[in-house]
Chain A
Amino acid sequence: MEETREHLKQMISVAGLSGHEAPIHALLESAWQPLTDEQHTSRLGSLHALKRGRAKAPRNSLAIVTHMDAIGLMVKDVDAAGLLHLEAIGGIDARVLPGQLVTLHARGGDLPGVIVIPPAHALPEDQSSGVPSLAHLRVDTGLRPAQARRAVQVGDLISFATLPQELDGDLLVGHSLDNRACVAVLTETLRLLQTRTHAWDVWAVATVQEEITLFGALTSGYALRPTLAVVIDVTFAKSPGAPAHKAFEMNKGPALDWGPNTHPRLYKEVENLARRLEIPIQPSVYAQSSGTDAILLQVAAEGIPTAILSIPLRYMHTPVEIIHTKDIERAARLLAEFISGLDDAFMEKLRLDTPGEGEAS
């Protein structure tokens, strides 16, 4: 796990904003190369890595799907003063932006910058108290106007510059822990599988574009046609002011999500396994949409039975997201055990045309 913790710190030190995932893709490709048998890149840039199973071909396959893209900002315009106007990539929480250090990824190389807020008197009346919207924030790179117009293009990417920081031993703070913490779960699962046997093929899938379109998961699902899928994403951890019924404990294990994007029988199987192994999990109910890759993965091709594991995370979509590394360990152990237990008969347990445990027939 120490190795995975360092891997995670590396992952949250590189960019890889939605639609522009090349930096994180390169890092993961080399991290997974020794852990898997084949690596491919999808037509949209998702990483597919195959760890072959022991059963006779054709084998069933399980895809573990987790997104590698991150939220960030994009240059919308360079104004007369050389300040950069901003467009959000994904669901940026603009309230935490003023004062943040950022990295501008320009043609000529990376440049540092800060997100600045105009003085209250320079803002429209409805924006002059409280936090102004993204339309009023700027990035100052310190470049003179003419230099800025030469160096910066419309469409250049801007990512958070927060460095990873350990807090109180097992906590990690940084940007992009949504969803690199979950990619770390997948890497740790692959490590655990090195000393185990499994009958099914395992596809480790790091998807693109989750924060904007979910098209990475949709297209990888279509391309790979896995027999089953487990999506790993983050969920809201308890934090100051968060209502207890809408948030989960940190260091109490991953959440297992129940709702329309979840295959009910697959949920039961994972839940029963966690109980048998005494790995803590927290049941999590979503009424309509899981807000994850599972939304489109479930309906890719002819449909893919999908389960969702979530890692509780504080301060989601800010540059100071916090996770508990023990939850990563627990989720990885649960997944490795689940994969080791998959056999020829497993799909029979998921049939929806037979009455299941505790269900009305």
Chain B
Amino acid sequence: MKDIIRQLVEAIGPSGYEGEVRALVQKMLKGHVDSMKVDALGNLIARKGKKGVDGLTIMLSAHLDEIGIIATHIDDNGFVRFTSIGGVLPRNTAGGRVRFLKTGQVGVIGLEAHKNTSSVPGLDKMYIDLGASRRAGVKVSVGDVAAFDRPFEDLGGRLVAKAMDDRIGVAILVEVMKGLKATPHEVVGVFSTQEEVGIRGATTAAYGVDPDLGIALDVTLTGDTPNADTMAVALGNGPAIKVKDSGMISDPRVVAWMEAGARKARLPFQREVLSGGTTDARSIQMARAGVPVGCLSIPCRYVHSPSEMVDYGDVQNSVKLLLALLARPVKLGGR
């Protein structure tokens, strides 16, 4: 599975420009699912299994896109000004490198001189240096997009890369769709677009799929680093079953079903309350007449930095838990 993760995190796909990542997923799923289609917003919708008597249409959603930058201006000396696609944090930016999607060109993020070194200037005080000496040498145009450039690192138990948010969810969903054998459900794997800019892909995918149950697969924050804000999630303690985030409260019946499934399969899990951020599950919940939703989160340190870290055991247990849950009929209890 590490090879799949490496391929996915090293591909470039800022929100709205997910084509390269989508093609990679299509290649990985070929021959392993019943059907695949791409909808109007670029979501890849893969289906497997038939909805039996005891079955549901279950939508699993992991987003293809990552945060990135887009060029807004190129000056006479060839320096490129840019703005963010999604939640790019200035404190994680200066000194980093980006790689442009179209040309593969690499640039360094520079920072204008600033006197107060204890504060972090905004992205408008930064620029990309492509190593050009004048504008004529620059192959980047206004509107070109780029992602952070940082290779995948396998630290043994822990994996580090840019775009673990949410390629790790994508990798898990790929493994689940491939590994799914007998299921009473119609399982719809949605590889969604534009999550980082307002959960836009999953909104239309959920309307189109019209599922009976929805589960998002995405990263969550942790409280296990020095002086971290309080959060009862740690790397390596198992996948996190979301109870609440700042954009959604999981259906309590879905939480109970996921927990019971984890206990039955003897897999570790953690209960998650996330103070900032939300996932595709929010958009699935509000689709049509409403959908009961939950979210399986992969604990991740340094989210929205070029070095996002996950625990490989958590990743493998996420795949196992989802396969165990999907193998049996779903009985949601009382609220």
Contacts and interface: CB of A to CB of B under 8 A. Distances in A.
B335 to A, nearest CB: 4
Interface stretch (A1-9, A42-50, A185-193, A284-292): A42-50
How many chain B residues sit at the interface, stated as a range, is 20 to 34
B271 A25 contact: no
16 contacts: A19-B251, A20-B249, A42-B290, A43-B291, A74-B273, A75-B273, A87-B273, A154-B270, A155-B255, A155-B273, A213-B247, A213-B286, A215-B290, A218-B286, A220-B289, A222-B290
B282 A213 contact: yes
Interface of A: 18-22, 25, 42-45, 74-78, 85, 87, 89, 135, 153-155, 209, 212-213, 215-216, 218-220, 222-223
**10 closest residue pairs by CB, A with B:** A19-B249, A155-B243, A219-B290, A223-B289, A44-B290, A22-B335, A43-B290, A154-B271, A77-B232, A154-B232
A154 B272 contact: yes
Contacts of B244: 19, 74, 87, 89, 155
Contact of A87 (B248, B275, B288): B275
Contacts of A76: 230-232, 273, 275
Contacts of B230: 76-77, 85, 135
Most buried by B among A45, A216, A223: A45
Interface in B278-299: 282, 285-286, 288-292
B157 interface: no
A20 B270 CA distance: 20
Given A76-B231, A155-B243, A219 B273 contact: no
Interface in B233-279: 243-244, 247-252, 255, 270-273, 275
Contacts of B198: none
Given A74-B244, A212-B249, A222-B288, A45 B335 contact: yes
Nearest to B286: A215
Given A22-B334, A22-B335, A89-B249, A223 B272 contact: no
Nearest to B242: A155
Nearest to A85: B230
B288 A219 contact: yes
Contacts of B232: 76-78, 154
Contacts of A89: 244, 249
B156 to A, nearest CB: 28
B252 A19 contact: yes
Nearest to A218: B286
Interface string B16-55: 0000000000000000000000000000000000000000
Interface string B67-83: 00000000000000000
Nearest to A22: B335
Contact of A20 (B248, B252, B275, B285): B252
Contacts of A21: 335
B223 interface: yes
Most buried by A among B244, B255, B270, B282: B244
B292 A43 contact: yes
Given A25-B335, A76-B230, A154-B271, A223 B290 contact: yes
Nearest to B288: A222
A153 B252 CA distance: 14
Contact of B243 (A42, A78, A154, A219): A154
Contacts of A222: 288-290
Contacts of A215: 285-286, 290
A213 B248 contact: yes
B249 A209 contact: yes
B273 A154 contact: yes
B264 to A, nearest CB: 18
Interface string B175-197: 00000000000000000000000
B247 A219 contact: no
Given A155-B271, A213-B282, A77 B289 contact: no
B252 A44 contact: no
A77 B231 contact: yes
A77 B334 CA distance: 26
Nearest to B292: A43
Contacts of B223: 77
A28 to B, nearest CB: 13
Nearest to B212: A43
A13 B244 CA distance: 24
Contacts of B243: 74, 154-155
A175 B231 CA distance: 28
A221 B17 CA distance: 34
A154 B231 CA distance: 9
Contacts of A216: 290
A42 B288 CA distance: 11
Given A42-B290, A75-B273, A155-B244, 18 more contacts: A19-B249, A20-B335, A21-B335, A42-B289, A44-B285, A76-B232, A77-B230, A154-B232, A154-B270, A212-B249, A213-B249, A213-B282, A213-B286, A215-B285, A216-B290, A219-B288, A219-B290, A223-B290
A154 B285 CA distance: 22
A281 to B, nearest CB: 32
Given A76-B230, A154-B232, A213-B248, A219 B286 contact: yes
A219 B289 contact: yes
Most buried by B among A74, A87, A135: A87
Contacts of A220: 289-290
B162 to A, nearest CB: 29
A75 B255 CA distance: 15
A31 B334 CA distance: 20
B10 to A, nearest CB: 34
A220 B288 CA distance: 9
Contacts of B231: 76-77
